[in-house]
Amino acid sequence: MTLRSVGILGTGKYVPDRVLTNADLEKMVDTNDEWIVSRTGMKERRIAAPDQATSDLAFHAAQAALRSAGITAEQLDLIIVATITPDMAFPSTACILQDRLGAKKAAAFDLSAACSGFIYGLATANNFIATGMYEYVLVIGADCLSRITDYTDRNTCVLFGDGAGAAVLGAVPEGRGFRSFELGADGSGGELLNLKGGGSRMPASIESVEGRNHYIYMAGSEVFKFAVRIMGNAAEEALKKAGMTKEDINLLIPHQANNRIIQASLSRLNLPEEKCMINLPKYANTSAASIPLALAEAAEEGRMREGDCVVLVGFGGGLTWGASVIIW
């Protein structure tokens, strides 16, 4: 079977209006702007309005991506929403979105790979289109982390924000689009980053709420060490699979978890900061939304020219990781 080349036809993003600054956080927990900026690079993050859920953020990003791709929702064959904060356990956020967009012929499902979810989603969509099964797939990374963040825990609450990013994928001319994917998981690290309550092992109860089990738990420095190692490894593996080297990279779009992690990836890949998309000072870590938000902003800012080699790379809970090489 001949496989078609697949690429990104359009991108879109959405962030809620409310801004939570480091100064605001200083009033909530024992932290300060100097610590947050020097340890993470973050200055502010966006917080969803009380009546906004993940599908609402995803909806606006999806509409922008459809406009940018020049197709209508009716033309979509599949919608994949990567998220760890679905509107509810079921129906999937992708189904809620399919209805709201009016994407009548689209299949729809959610994908759970935490901050790596968007890259896992791109790889999945790529295969449906490459084989000729589908023409257009909408992939969204969307998360409302403020709903699962413990704003009494200074170790985590300064790190997270809400947002959504989307991409419409379709067939592209030979030699363009996705050149490789590198996906991975190490389930033995699941204890380092998780949310225990509300699932089938620990259903919601008074005890689960009192134990603060419906919030993100993270062993920060362990995740940090993993991230520094895996970002470089995953990007190098994806480049190798694409038959390219780090010298070929025109733009790196990394998961926006911590500026120190990004800087470590840049030194490993011998890249100057100008060749990297960094927007974490504005949005902090938005989990599955982080890479597509950065991708959509890079597109808006005209940072990718036709034929450029763009590398996406991320890591997250699971533990999971993913990287992809794209010829723009």
- Residues annotated catalytic, as ranges: 115, 255, 285
Residue 317 and residue 116 in contact, taking contact as beta carbons nearer than 8 Å: no
Closest to ligand UT7 by CB, 154 vs 246, is 154
Minimum distance, C-beta of residue 323 to ligand UT7, in the bound complex (Å): 15
Closest to ligand UT7 by CB, 94 vs 193, is 193
Minimum distance, C-beta of residue 244 to ligand UT7, in the bound complex (Å): 26
Going by C-alpha positions, the residue among 240, 65, 47 that lies closest to residue 157 is: 47
Going by C-alpha positions, the residue among 262, 11, 287 that lies closest to residue 138 is: 11
Distance CA 236, CA 244 (A): 9
Closest to ligand UT7 by CB, 39 vs 214, is 39
Distance CA 326, CA 297 (A): 16
Sheet of 251-254: strands edge to edge? Answer: 177-185, 320-327, 309-316, 251-254
Give contact residues for ligand UT7 (rule: CB under 6 A): 31, 35-36, 39-40, 115, 154-155, 158, 193, 218, 220-221, 223-224, 227, 257-258, 285, 316
Indicate the length of the chain as a whole number: 328
Minimum distance, C-beta of residue 194 to ligand UT7, in the bound complex (Å): 11
Burial of 119 (0-12, 13-18, 19+ CB in 10 A): buried
Distance CA 49, CA 313 (A): 29
Minimum distance, C-beta of residue 276 to ligand UT7, in the bound complex (Å): 16
Minimum distance, C-beta of residue 10 to ligand UT7, in the bound complex (Å): 26
Minimum distance, C-beta of residue 109 to ligand UT7, in the bound complex (Å): 22
Distance CA 164, CA 56 (A): 9
Say whether the peptide bond before residue 239 is cis (omega within 30 degrees of 0).
no
Going by C-alpha positions, the residue among 100, 217, 77 that lies closest to residue 160 is: 217
Percentages of the chain per state (helix, strand, coil), in multiples of 5: 40, 25, 35
The DSSP call for residue 102 is T
Residue 15 token pair: 């962030």
Minimum distance, C-beta of residue 129 to ligand UT7, in the bound complex (Å): 28
Q: Which residue is nearest to ligand UT7 (CB)?
A: 220
Closest to ligand UT7 by CB, 96 vs 227, is 227
Closest to ligand UT7 by CB, 197 vs 316, is 316
Closest to ligand UT7 by CB, 33 vs 308, is 33
Closest to ligand UT7 by CB, 26 vs 135, is 26
Helices (H) and strands (E) in the chain, counts: 11, 13
Burial of 156 (0-12, 13-18, 19+ CB in 10 A): buried
